[in-house]
Amino acid sequence: MINILRLLSVSLLLIFGTVDAASLDQVAVDAFIGELATNDGFDRAELARTFKEAQRSERILKAMSRPAEKSKPWYEYQKHFLTDLRISGGIEFWNANVDTLGRATDVYGVPPEIIVAIIGVETSYGKITGGDRVIDALATLAFHYPQGNVKRMTFFREQLRQLFLMSREQHLDPLELTGSYAGAMGIPQFMPESYRKFAVDFNNDGARNIWQDRSDAIGSVANYLKSHGWNRGESIVLPASTTNSNADELLTDSVKPNRRISDFATHGVTTAALNSDELAALFTLEGQISLEYWLALNNFYAIMKYNPRTKYAMAVVKLAEAIRNARLAQQMS
């Protein structure tokens, strides 16, 4: 009976795997192998053997064509993250790692609720880290990105290179690493380049293990934000209101703080900011009833270095607030 079930499982895997998997662009792969061999000292034959096992995934291409940050308005998008389960999970994660989070805040200046919220948004506190082979995801997007987007293909091509560099440095098999459909890995969902630059050995055991080690994951998230400009003790984002119909001319796509808050006020955009000389950027989110106006400060922009979507960064902020407030209420009850 067991042998029959195994045969059935293998048959189903072959059937459904064939639908999703296909060959990579061999010309592009060969050119990439040549670059790695010439510029980074890799063995051509070994790379060829590795890529012989890699596959293009049509499912990944479909998923990349419809990310939730683009397809859902804010009032729908936030419902996926601001749930009782994710908030309670955040409290549990915080309580289980309270000392490590406190040390990360001391070292890097990032509040514990922000670290917890990012890990909560990314992987539900390490429970959902992705089951795609990283090499398949990165190769698919490096050589077959939807609509042939050259900018995005260049990005993923570099991440694929970083994967091989990381694997060589850490003595890892690139064929065994799994992650998201975009190639992000571990509890904090770091891309290979981010791992090489920002992952830290926060428990000093000699390894930077973001896959199973919560301590390293926590320290790595905090180091990532600090390295991207997080300022200790400063605000993140401010609700704003406008009385000027021309305020939309001040909106920016990058959300990089570029104008003093006092300057926004002269254009009819007001907020309860204490420091009117602080730089901010105006952006909007689609509320259930009307458009919401917000002023992004430097720390909000740092969060967007993790994922360059205002909805993503706001989900982190709102989840962090919800976890912090719920945890405080528990402690006071």
- Backbone CA torsion sign across 268, 313, 88, 215: negative
**Nearest Cα to 317, choosing from 294, 300, 298, 293?**
300
64-78, 183-197, 215-229: least confident range: 64-78
Q: Which of 46, 122, 169, 286 is catalytic?
A: 122
CB 269 within 8 A of CB 293: yes
Taking only the tens place, the pLDDT of each residue in 155-198 is: 999 999 999 999 999 999 999 999 999 999 999 999 999 999 99
In which band, very low, low, confident or very high, does the pLDDT at 69 lie, cut at 50, 70 and 90? low
Average pLDDT over residues 20-26: 86
Taking only the tens place, the pLDDT of each residue in 108-157 is: 999 999 999 999 999 999 999 999 999 999 999 999 999 889 999 999 99
Q: What one-letter code names the amino acid at 274?
A: L
- Does domain 19-68+130-198 fall into CATH 1.10.8.350? yes
26-30, 64-68, 140-144, 254-258: least confident range: 64-68
CA pair distance 290, 109, nearest whole angstrom:
35
Average pLDDT over residues 77-86: 96
Beta bridge partners of residue 291, listed in sequence order: 286
Whole-number Cα distances in Å, 120 to 9, 52, 115, 125, 303: 33, 36, 9, 5, 14
- What are the residue boundaries of the structural domains of the chain, listed by start? 19-68+130-198, 237-296
In the residue annotation, 278 being an active-site residue is answered as no
